[in-house]
Amino acid sequence: MSNINNYGVDMNKKTLAELNLSAVNELRDEDAAAFSGGAATIYRDANFKGGGLKYSNGDSNLVNDNFNDTTSSIIITGNERWRFYRDVNFQGPAVTLGRGRYSFVADFGIPNDSISSLRRL
């Protein structure tokens, strides 16, 4: 195996594996989520406050996460669309949203504090 430094690359005494790991660690959460298909982060309060939970695939029952009927704002990253349901197990009225920042769910067709399940489509 040839030494990469013979080609004028400054590795700062790091191996290729260390360089790759450091590059991954420097990605912001939103960028990493976009590469992996995206994520939905739900927040207890409007304007992305009050603590949040991030999902990459969804959850059929937010009761288990102590987050049932408490969502007031949402951030969706990536290019996937997400569906938010009033009831557990993906039941009841639902609203579908795409990538974006939703500072107050009621402005986007979801009654405040009404989400009980969500899934990535």
Q: What is the pLDDT of residues 37-91, one digit of tens each?
A: 689 999 999 999 999 999 999 999 999 999 999 999 999 999 999 999 999 999 9
Tell me if the pTM is above 0.75.
no
110, two tokens:
């979801």
Q: What is the residue range of 104's domain?
A: 31-120
Q: Is residue 17 part of a domain?
A: no
Whole-angstrom Cα distance, residue 22 to residue 75?
26
Instruction: Give how many domains the chain has, as a whole number.
Output: 1
Q: Is residue 18 part of a domain?
A: no
Query: Residue 38: which CATH number?
Result: 2.60.20.10
Q: Is residue 77 part of a domain?
A: yes
Q: Is residue 112 part of a domain?
A: yes
84, two tokens:
């938010």
Per-residue pLDDT band at 31 (split at 50, 70, 90):
low
Q: Is residue 70 part of a domain?
A: yes
Whether residue 10 has pLDDT greater than 70: no
Strands in 82-87's sheet, in edge-to-edge order, are 58-59, 117-120, 82-87, 91-97
